[in-house]
Structure 1
Amino acid sequence: MLRVQRYVNDIRKIVEKTEIYCREMGIVGKYLKINIGANIRNYLDMIYDRRGFTREELVIIIREFSEYLDDSLLDEYSDNLSN
């Protein structure tokens, strides 16, 4: 559970920094949401490539950031998720 909490904290920082950057660039609304979602997915890809994560961890992350992520991530990672 500590590991998923660290992921959630890291993603919160990513969201915060993306919001600041996009605000400075004049990116708002739908495009801001798209940028944040893409940055979160890039972070999850990096974590997945390095050490992987469990299905439960991914579900927690998806629920925590449901504004930016959806259940399609489960399909993307389903073949190689550890239980």
Structure 2
Amino acid sequence: ELLATGCTFVIAPEQKARVTYDNILRLSDDPDVNDVIKFLRAREVVHFQRFGEGLRLARDKMNEKNVYYMNPSFDK
């Protein structure tokens, strides 16, 4: 859904980073490295979720009838 909104530039970096972290975890056998990579991967998931929430909130606000910065009658 989020990618269909045309805002892939916001979400794509987090998804690419998550895939990179998954690939590193497949190659690494060091528990200390894996712990750090798992933390970074979890952080990217949270960023993805927050960007999605922000996008939904912005879209909802744009659909409101009383949006002053886009309401031409307000400038009269």
* TM-score w.r.t. length of structure 1: 0.34
Q: Which has the higher helix share?
A: 2
* TM-score w.r.t. length of structure 2: 0.35
